[in-house]
């Protein structure tokens, strides 16, 4: 039998978003945790496409190359 690792974690949501999650949890007779877990499972591949804060977008790279080129002249 597989054991589920259950760790308590505090998450903070904007009030209106939390209200929407609570309404949906009530509608489905599910916990808030279950709703958020399902949302993550559905959205994770899309979220993983977001650049990290340390990554530079192609547009930013082009601007940086142009700045370097200007400074060399």
Per-residue pLDDT at 62: 80
Contact 4, 11 (CB under 8 A): no
Tens of pLDDT along 12-49?
999 999 999 999 999 999 999 999 999 999 999 999 99
Task: Categorize the per-residue pLDDT at 1 as very low, low, confident or very high, splitting at 50, 70 and 90.
Answer: low
Tokens of 24: 């949906």
Per-residue pLDDT at 4: 74
What sections of 1-73 are H helices per DSSP? Answer: 15-28, 32-47, 58-72
Per-residue pLDDT at 33: 95
Question: CB pairs under 8 A, 24+ apart, for 65-72?
Answer: none
Residue 29, sorted as left (phi over 0), alpha (psi -120 to 50) or beta, turns out to be left
How many C-alpha atoms does 2 have within 13 Å on its Cβ side? 3
Total-model pTM: 0.65
């Amino acid at each position: 039998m597989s054991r589920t690792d259950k760790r308590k974690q505090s998450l903070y949501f904007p009030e209106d978003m939390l209200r929407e999650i609570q309404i949906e949890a009530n509608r489905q007779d599910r916990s808030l945790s279950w709703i958020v877990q399902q949302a993550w499972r559905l959205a994770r591949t899309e979220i993983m496409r977001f650049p990290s804060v340390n990554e530079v977008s192609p547009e930013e790279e082009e601007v940086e190359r142009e700045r370097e080129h200007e400074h060399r002249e």
